[in-house]
Amino acid sequence: MDSIRYPIGQFKPSLNPSVDARVSRIHEIPEIVKTLRGLIGNLENEQIITSYRDGGWTIGQIVHHMADNDMNAYLRFKRALTEDEPVASSYREDLWAELSDYKDIPIEDSLSLLELLHRRFLILLNSLNPEEYNRKLRTEALGSVTLDIAVQRFVWHNRHHMAQIESLINKMGWRTGES
């Protein structure tokens, strides 16, 4: 079950990443939506409402969750730049996934939101000096983390959910926009 739920493994931060490693990670952000669009671009609605595992979210719920999560991460990041080690609020992602916007809004809306949000995040990330990546925020799940680790987690989280989608597509033998 863990390999289905965590196809790329659990998050493991690099505690002292080099500047090059940070830059490389940041350069992955604009590729997230491109990759996601390639994965789901040719899927039919019936496929979009298929759960990636028993008891798991549908592809549509995953995409909407990615947008919600990235909005929350972006706001936490900005708070860490403007406050001293703020406590990042958590949210009930399981309950959010049951709300009407996850069911009634096309996933294209969340893809567009991700695109715009990532564009803003990149501008912010590229404007920071190296010392600012040492600023911290506190999360329930990870405890006190630097913004360097927050960026790593941001990219990992998106990769993690794209891997869940890709695993389902491969398991079901569906054709994607990448074919």
Q: Are 79 and 135 in contact (CB under 8 A)?
A: no
Q: What is the pLDDT of residues 42-94, one digit of tens each?
A: 999 999 999 999 999 999 999 999 999 999 999 999 999 999 999 998 899 99
Question: Which CA distances in Å does 20 have to 26, 82, 130, 148, 151?
Answer: 10, 25, 11, 12, 14
Taking 70 as the threshold, does the pLDDT of residue 179 lie above it? no
Entry pTM: 0.94
Nearest by Cα to 161 from 56, 47, 23, 42: 56
> Cα Rg for the chain, rounded, in angstroms?
16
Q: What is the pLDDT of residues 85-142, one digit of tens each?
A: 999 988 999 999 999 999 999 999 999 999 999 999 999 999 999 999 999 999 888 8
Quick one: 44 exposed, middle or buried, by C-beta within 10 A (0-12, 13-18, 19+)?
A: exposed
Exposure of 16 in the CB half-sphere (CA atoms within 13 A): 0
